[in-house]
Chain A
């Protein structure tokens, strides 16, 4: 069962961590740590997990938030998102991509941390129930919270485009 969950969700958990932390090393570490926790949980009290996908997202988002908190504490906020995954052979495309990424990041960073995580889970196609399980937001409020976040980001992006 563990192997199946590992192969099935590794990539999306990795990408989720990467989007939150902007670093391949951190994403790799935290994805591994998430699965270590799953491994331990499966060996002890497996029945408390419920929906495995939601559980993985919940654990990884908590780990990412802790890492962000530690980073902020040490003033090591890394602003160069995606810097280590860009094609360095084409500097022009690199610049354009970086600009766009910074714009999206600015828009997303306006949101509250919980909403930021929610919209990233939404991007990965989690169901409303799964998102509710992972974030602790009631299912009935997921739609409303999501719409507010989408609206906010789209307004910010429009303003940035006009500038």
Chain B
């Protein structure tokens, strides 16, 4: 511990009685140390005095606490559960939506490729369902299976 720190602790009364006595003895014996001690004391006072300028000049009234607490707590519980902010919710939702979209697109491609591999003719013969549907029935209550059978029958005739 250097002398300045020792003197500062002495001035702040952070030393044991024994240590304080030792310092007092040193100060009596060595005039050089006495000068250093005065310097430390002066610097300490100057800093504490100057820093007072940063304090507010007027008196601070102590507001009642109970009036504030429930309101703030209630607001928190309603709008920010787990301390999550609104933009964080929005970002989370956007990420989830992007994930869902990419999964759907990937699966769609896979499904198309698989169908093409299993049934190569399916890709060759393609019907315009709307046109056929109009041809078969104007009320359009047919499902695709019925539609196919109807076309086959139609062709046979």
Contact = CB atoms under 8 A, between A and B. Distances in A.
A87 interface: yes
Interface in A79-112: 81-82, 85-87, 97, 100-101, 104-105, 108
Contacts of B144: none
B53 A104 contact: yes
B51 A119 contact: yes
Nearest to B4: A147
Given A127-B14, A143-B1, A143-B8, A154 B57 contact: no
A46 interface: no
B111 interface: no
B143 interface: no
Interface string A105-148: 10010000000000110010001100000000000000110110
B58 to A, nearest CB: 6
A101 B62 CA distance: 25
B130 interface: no
B139 interface: no
B57 A100 contact: no
Interface residues of B, number: 32
Interface in B60-84: 60, 62-63, 65, 68-69, 72-73
A57 interface: no
Contacts of A27: 56
Interface of A is mostly: helix
A39 B39 CA distance: 44
B69 A150 contact: no
Nearest to B58: A85
A69 to B, nearest CB: 15
A25 interface: no
16 contacts: A10-B60, A10-B62, A15-B55, A32-B72, A36-B73, A81-B54, A82-B56, A105-B54, A123-B52, A128-B9, A128-B14, A143-B1, A143-B6, A143-B12, A144-B1, A154-B46
- Chain A to chain B: the 8 pairs with minimum beta-carbon distance, closest first: A19-B54, A143-B5, A85-B56, A154-B43, A10-B62, A143-B9, A123-B51, A128-B14
